[in-house]
Amino acid sequence: MPNMCRHLLIHGRVQGVGFRWALSAQATTLGLCGWVRNRRDGSVEALISGAPEAVNALTEWAWTGPPGARVERVLCRDEPDLADFNMPPGFELRPTF
């Protein structure tokens, strides 16, 4: 099955609780590649790519996040044009945007 790519925008109490690091660790465990960053509006944004089962699993995880997080909503958008884009391996923590 081909890879898929999904953009996530996570709202709630998601900054200052280790959300980016936890999401990166979970993505790595699931064999995904992509990136995650804080946004100035207080949300966390991620672009994830990999096997559909793994992308779906990380999307589900994002609804809970690490201890201390309080997720209010997760907006997700599949990015079909990026699904076959060859992202570099691994998962990257990006600076705040």
Q: Give the SS3 label for residue 56.
A: helix
Tell me which of 13, 20, 86, 94 is the catalytic residue. Answer: 20
Distance CA 62, CA 14 (A): 10
For this structure, is 94 an active site residue?
no
Tell me which of 3, 6, 13, 38 is the catalytic residue. Answer: 38
Record the tokens describing residue 82, joined without a space.
Answer: 């990026």
The CA radius of gyration of the chain, in Å to the nearest whole number, is 12
For this structure, is 20 an active site residue?
yes
Q: Which of 52, 48, 49, 44 is nearest to 73 (CA)?
A: 44
Which sequence positions are flagged as catalytic?
20, 38
